[in-house]
Amino acid sequence: MKRERSARILATLGPASSTLERIRTLAEAGADVFRLNFSHGSHADHAERLELIRQVEQELGRPIGVLMDLQGPKLRVGRFAAGKVVLAPGARFRLDLSPEDGDEHRANLPHPEIFAALEAGTDLLLDDGKLRLRVDAFGPDFADTTVLVGGVLSDRKGVNVPGVVLPISPLTAKDRADLDFGLSLGVDWVALSFVQRPEDIREAREIIGDRAWIMAKLEKPAAIEHLEPIVALADGIMVARGDLGVELPPQQVPVLQRRIVRAARAAGRPVVVATQMLESMISAPVPTRAEASDVATAIYDGADAVMLSAESASGQYPVEAVGIMHRIICEVEQDPAWREGLEASHTPAGANTPDAICCALRRVVALLEPAATVAYTSSGFSALRASRERPVAPILALTPQLGTARRLALAWGVHPIPFEQVADVTEMVAHAAGASVSHGFAAPGDNIVVIAGLPFGRSGSTNLLHVERIPR
C-alpha cells in the first residue's frame, strides 16, 4: 500500500503493455493510475485491459485508478488527388466544403464550424503546426488564405485554429459512444479533450454525473482564458502540452504549465503534467538529461502526477520508463529545496470550515511531526483538501467507497485504503490507528492526526481534527 513518494505516475496502456504480467510489472515499478486512450484501440481492447487492471489490483491489494481519455473533435483536411501537395510560401490556397480531392490550389476542409468562427487575419495551422496559413477572405463555406510557412501537405492532416473559440462540442458522436461504454466498465476518471470553456465541463457533467470524476485537458489557448472557472468545475486538470505547444509558441508552454499547476493546486484539484515527458524512451532504455529535468520540474512545481503516453503504451521500454520516472520523483522529493518550493508556492486556505480544518492540519503536522495523517472520507473531499495543503506526513484516505479509493490514487500524497463504514468518532479513530500500523505508516507510540466530516457520509463537511497517540 505504501509509496515512498507523494507525486503519482499515470501510465498509458497499449500494444506494449496489455498482458497481465506487463500490467502487474508496471504497477510494481510505480504506476498508480492507468490510462486507456480511446483515440486508439477497440472497445474489446479496453475492456480486456481494464479487467486485467482489476485483477492486478486484487493481487497487489492496492486501489488502482483507471482514466479513460476521450479522443475529442479531430479537425482535418480532406484528401488530395496526388496524395500530397507542396505549398510554397506566399502562394494562395483555398479551403472549402467541396468534397472533391484537393490539389496545389485548394483542399477540402469538412468543418463548417471553422468557417463560421473565422476572422480576417486568423492563422490556420496544418500538420501539427508545420504549415501556417493566413486567412484573407472567408465565407460560410470557404476561406481564401496566403501560405506563410509552406511545406508538404498530405491527406487527412490536422488543422488547428489558435486564438479562436470554435462552436464545437468537446463530445463527438464517437466520444459519446465511448463514454457510455467506459462508464459501463466502471472507469474512475474521464479525461475530456478539446475543452475551450466552462460550458464544456457542464455538458460532460450532465452525462457523467457522479459515475466518474472529470479531468479537463487544457490543450487549447481558449481554455487558458477561462482557466479559473474551468478548474473550479472540473475534478482534475491535465496540462496537455502536445496540442498546447502546437497552437502556442513553445516558449510560452513552460510558463503556462506552471500557471496551470498553481491554479489547480490553489483549488485543490489534482493536476497532471503530460506529453513527451520521456519521449526518447519510446526507443531508448534511458531518457535524455533534458527529459529527466522536465519530469523533475513538474515535481518541483507540486504537480500531483506525471504521465507517460507512447513511452508505456507502444514503446520498447515501458517498465524502464515507469521505473526511471519513479526514481526521478523520489530523488526530487528528497531534496530540501523541493519542500521549500512547496511552502513558497502554497496558497492561503479559503474562509470556510473544511479549508480551515485542513490548514490547521498542515500546521499541526509541521509542529508535532506525526507519522501519518488520516482522512476519513466517503466522497474523497476531505482527502483532497488535505492533499491541497501538501503536508509533510503521508495522507491515508480511509473510505468505505472502493470507487472513491481508486479515484484518489491520482492525488498527491494520498494513500487510499478501502475501509468499512464507522458508527462514531471513537470507532473511526481506532480504525485510523489500526490502519496506520497495519499498512506500515506508523508504529505503537507514534502520533497520527485524523480529519473527518460529521455527520459521516456528507460530502464537503470536513469539520473535525483529532490528534491520537497509538497505544504501545
Query: Which residues are designated catalytic?
Result: 35, 76, 217, 275
Rounded alpha-carbon distances, angstroms, from residue 40 to 36, 54, 73, 228, 325:
9, 21, 14, 31, 24
Q: How many degrees, rounded to 5, is the angle at CA 224 between CA 220 and CA 228?
A: 135
Q: What is the DSSP letter of 341?
A: H
User: From the CB of residue 139, how many other CB atoms can be counted at a distance below 10 Å?
Assistant: 11
- Alpha carbon 241 to its chain centroid, in Å, reads 11
What sign does the dihedral 51-56-61-67 (CA atoms) show?
negative
Q: Which three cell numbers stand for residue 41?
A: 484501440
CB 130 within 8 A of CB 85: no
Strands (E), 213-283: 213-218, 236-240, 271-274
- What whole-number distance in Å separates Cα of residue 319 and Cα of residue 1? 20
Q: Which three cell numbers stand for residue 276?
A: 513527451
Q: Which three cell numbers stand for residue 161?
A: 485554429
Within 13 A of 267's CA, how many CA atoms are on the CB side?
19
CB 165 within 8 A of CB 196: yes
CA dihedral 144, 147, 153, 156 (to 10 degrees): -40
Q: What is the DSSP letter of 350?
A: P
Q: Which of 153, 347, 318 is nearest to 231 (CA)?
A: 347
In sequence order, what DSSP letters do the residues of 213-225 get, joined into one string? EEEEEE-SHHHHH
Within 13 A of 377's CA, how many CA atoms are on the CB side?
31
Please, which residues bridge with residue 468 across strands?
448
